Chains A and B, each alone.
Chain A
Amino acid sequence: GENVEQHPSTLSVQEGDSAVIKCTYSDSASNYFPWYKQELGKGPQLIIDIRSNVGEKKDQRIAVTLNKTAKHFSLHITETQPEDSAVYFCAANDYKLSFGAGTTVTVRA
């Protein structure tokens, strides 16, 4: 099955700085890579996703890059704001989502 590793486990950034979270996956058949944001007491919320035929995707302050050869993908958040503080999960999909362990992001005001 798919194995997804996520780093770092915690990330503290100053408001306005950038945050980067990296994930690696094991199954070369995976072709869909979503990122979810989970706030305390809530279910995961999809923030951006990328498919294997695309190398990079951007949505306002959020971007994701994918390197299929190296089997890694990354989330980039620019101009961080306090409301970006949450736990972020990467995932990879063969026919089911396999999640990383999560990154707790804290944005310091």
Chain B
Amino acid sequence: DAGVTQSPTHLIKTRGQHVTLRCSPISGHKSVSWYQQVLGQGPQFIFQYYEKEERGRGNFPDRFSARQFPNYSSELNVNALLLGDSALYLCASSFLAEETQYFGPGTRLLVL
């Protein structure tokens, strides 16, 4: 069975640019969550979507936004990139919002 997939795997951007990261959940899962993992730290919660509705938001600025599509895939958008946005961005899916979360391999973003 296919797990959570994310694209692209790596990305290099410059300060001020915009980036879109994509996630496809495990088949049948209706909830997608996004996390940011800075090198050497644990993942930090950004958003959770369930049935295309935002269910939760972490302590991130409005430059971060996301959405979930009818097929339950999701996009994370980050505007006006800063050097500090360099991190591994992880997507996790679960069948229901509070069920076990399974992570994808992540997208490594480098902002120069």
Contact = CB atoms under 8 A, between A and B. Distances in A.
B64 interface: no
Contacts of B97: 95
Interface in A35-49: 36, 42-46, 49
Interface string A7-38: 00000000000000000000000001010100
Contacts of A6: 42
Which secondary structure dominates chain B's binding surface?
Answer: loop
A80 B102 CA distance: 24
Given A44-B90, A93-B98, A99 B103 contact: no
A36 B45 contact: no
Contacts of B44: 99
Interface in B72-94: 90, 92
Interface residues of A, number: 23
Contact of B45 (A34, A96, A101, A102): A96
B45 A98 contact: yes
Give the bracket for the number of chain B residues in contact with chain A.
Answer: 20 to 34
A98 B46 CA distance: 11
Nearest to A45: B103
Contact of B42 (A1, A34, A49, A100): A100
A43 B106 contact: yes
A84 B57 CA distance: 33
Contacts of A4: 42
A36 B48 contact: no
Given A96-B33, A97-B35, A89 B100 contact: no
Given A1-B59, A93-B98, A97-B35, 6 more contacts: A42-B105, A43-B105, A46-B100, A46-B102, A96-B56, A99-B44
Q: Which 3 A-B pairs have the closest CB atoms?
A: A99-B42, A43-B103, A96-B45
5 contacts: A44-B103, A46-B101, A46-B102, A95-B55, A102-B42
